[in-house]
Amino acid sequence: MAEDGEYYGKHGEPRKYDPTFKGPIQNRGCTDIVCCILFVLALLGYIAVGILAWSQGDPRKVIYPTDSRGQFCGQAGTELEKKPLLFYFNIMKCASPMVLLEFQCPTTQMCVEKCPEKFMTLLKAYTNKNDFEYYKKFCKEGVTNTMGAPEILRLGLCPAMLTPSKPFTRRCFPALGQKGKVITVGNISSFDDGYGNMRDAKDLVDGVKNATVVIEARQVVMKIFEDYTQSWYWILIGLVIAMVTSLLFIILLRYLAGIMVWVMIVLVILVIGYGIFHCYMEYAALKGEPGANVTIQQLGFQTDLSVYLQIRQTWLAFMIILAIVDVVIILLLIFLRKRILIAVALIKEASRAIGHVMCSLFFPLFTFVLLAIVIAYWAVTAVFLSTSNEPVYKVFNETLCEHSRKLCDPNYTTSLMKAQCPDSECLFAFYGGETVYHKYLIGLQFYNVFLFFWCANFVIGLGQMTLAGAFASYYWAFVKPDDMPAFPVFSSLGRSLRYHTGSLAFGSLILSIIQIIRVLLEYLDHKLKGAKNKFAKFLLCCLKCCFWCLEKFIKFLNRNAYIMVAIYGKNFCTSARDAFFLLMRNMIRVAVLDKVTDFLLFLGKLLIVGLVGVFAFFFFSGRVKAFENTAPHLHYYWVPILTVVIGSYLIAHGFFSVYAMCVDTLFLCFCEDLERNDGSASRPYYMSSSLHEILWKNKHLTAVVQDCLET
């Protein structure tokens, strides 16, 4: 007994028998009021930031290309509605290194209805009335037939030449081609630049390349957006299939827990095995194909990810990864085969609890809706904040000018700068600003991200505490379901919001601070990628690893703290301490039972994701002839596949999180039950007889392992 006292002294005092304790305490008070007030004030500030962003931002800056006057090409309801394309007066100026520094080509840009379709110089077009009328479509306003060509060029009203171009991401780029090793544009290798000089078509390449660098990210985003518009309904169908499969699996688990667990294990191994087989078949099929032996390193980064599927090394990597996962799962199952039987018993008990609290299966939908609102608010606010800058105009010139790259007013023609630098122009450069609002814009973006983490963690914590209170009321009901509340989930939700908003805010605040530190570390890691200081890289890697572990630990602690708050109604710190000591006093049971159960539930998620993912792959990739005409034609078929896979995992996680929360709650209640009661007639156990029988079989093993650890 003395040894027991010393052991318990390290990890707190065990619970004592209390005849008045009947589960979650009803008579409770508000907890962590200071954190509750702080959270409410932070939310009010978040709303204010959103209103400010919505009043200042303009998402059109992301959607539409902008001409030299800061106007949006193709915007509905404006004079440029029928001019959706951006035309560069001299695309070769985009070859300047300043393009990469300022993200703006130092040449006049205007909105046009169509891109030029043929070669033409202003001097030649001016001699032909029809040609000149066509040419004026690519000139500024104010060009008349009475003006001479030299005057038009001097005033910068028209480009010196037109080259055959094609629209690309709403911009006109030269229609470059290749004959043998010679670069061509419009099927010719040289052209007149409009000033009497013959230029090679290859001179256009650098300009196009630099202009493409500026808009490459937007191009990929637009293609992905187009893919979503083409496949959104099929994605929804895939997500509905995932939801139905998850719900069906949960219902079967309710009545056939033992059989379903073993079926799940076998199917996971078979699905991964099929993945290995498919990767091998793709790997073998590419043997001898031109370019298939190129390595991923040689290929480099490509925006079209489907290119990687054309090389053998990709499929070899997939095959090796799947084989390792399959072997690890099989080895774990072999070593944990006896513990799995006990975990199945815990899942059966969780199934009975869920059977008495059936509405808990649909509670994740409530959590999902709240999370969707949080994510949508964050995303919209982020877009409006990033587009709330004002158009900034700068002086661009071809000859030496002291005002070059200085800020200017759009009404530049009458300014002193124009008089001193006659050939210069005032062009739209980028979006920015010098006001107090613009100076603190980065701070507002940081606040937006931090509040996103805080609100998201609060919503997740609310879901965990609500389910914990509902399942705790089931466990501590001596006569089930007579001693349970009529609506256990709604009763628990009401208690959580009324009394424990502060505790939820406290726990989610701690987790959010750690997550924002991890985001900053990732940002630093991205910035230091080119650095040669190995010590700095090593230190950063250690910090990232430490904070990753700390985040996992805080999530684990928060989860169990919320369970104790739901049961006893104490503040967050007290509940976290009680939960931690209770788990430490039952450390072996935690390792043997709780974590094995989590592993089995993870396999269930993996199975649903695997089944839906395989179906999505064959459908969207067009590998099955039956779906060849039905599947939408996409730029990147991996976009809907990845969306369906991620969505399926989130849906499966939502349903299985109910089981996981139920198991964790029942496990903590079971540990407390063992400490409070002894199974006698005066102090009976609240656990079911079947759960007691199976868990008690593990008592001797637990005691032996505990003695070994203490020794």
Instruction: Clarify whether residues 406 and 449 are in a common domain.
Output: no
Residues 398 and 309 in one domain: no
428 lies in the same domain as 556: no
* Boundary (domain end) residue, out of 401, 432, 463: 432
Residues 449 and 467 in one domain: yes
80 in a structural domain: no
Opening angle at CA 68, ends 65 and 74, nearest 5:
35
User: For position 693, what pLDDT does the model report?
Assistant: 67
Percentage, residues of the chain above pLDDT 70: 74
Return phi, psi of residue 390, to 5°.
-100, 155
Does residue 589 contact residue 671 with C-beta atoms inside 8 Å?
Answer: yes
Residue 517's pLDDT band (cuts 50, 70, 90):
very high
Number of domains observed in the structure of the chain: 2
Residue 18 lies in domain = 1-54+220-382+440-676
Contacts of 463 (CB under 8 A, 6+ apart): 363, 364, 366, 367, 657
Indicate whether 3 pLDDT > 50. no
Pick the range with the lowest mean pLDDT from 13-17, 56-60, 132-136, 310-314.
Answer: 13-17
Note whether residue 516 is domain-resident. Answer: yes
Are 346 and 394 within one domain? no
DSSP letters along 500-556, please?
-HHHHHHHHHHHHHHHHHHHHHHHHHHHTTT---HHHHHHHHHHHHHHHHHHHHHHH
Are residue 355 and residue 494 in the same domain, yes or no? yes
What's the one-letter identity of residue 625? Answer: K
Q: Is residue 538 part of a domain?
A: yes
Q: Are residue 290 and residue 411 in the same domain, yes or no?
A: no
Percent of residues in the chain assigned helix, strand, coil, to nearest 5: 65, 5, 30
pLDDT band of residue 214 (cuts 50, 70, 90) is very low
Residues of the chain with pLDDT > 90, as a percent, come to 13
Mark out the alpha helices in 256-359 (DSSP H runs): 257-285, 296-299, 312-335, 337-356
Task: Assess if residue 100 is contained within a domain.
Answer: no
Helix (H, G, I), strand (E, B) or coil at 144: coil
- The pLDDT of residue 455: 94
pLDDT confidence of 212, banded at 50, 70, 90? very low
Is residue 114 in a domain?
A: no
Q: Are residues 290 and 331 in the same domain?
A: yes
Please indicate, yes or no, whether residues 558 and 666 belong to a single structural domain of this protein: yes
Rounded-to-integer distance, Cα 359 and Cα 152, Å: 75
Q: Is residue 694 part of a domain?
A: no
Q: Are 464 and 395 found together in one domain? A: no
- Do 459 and 546 sit in the same domain of this protein? yes
Where is the domain boundary, 404, 432, 460? 432
Q: Please check whether residue 462 lies inside any domain of the structure.
A: yes
pLDDT score of 45 more than 90: yes
Same domain, 534 and 516: yes
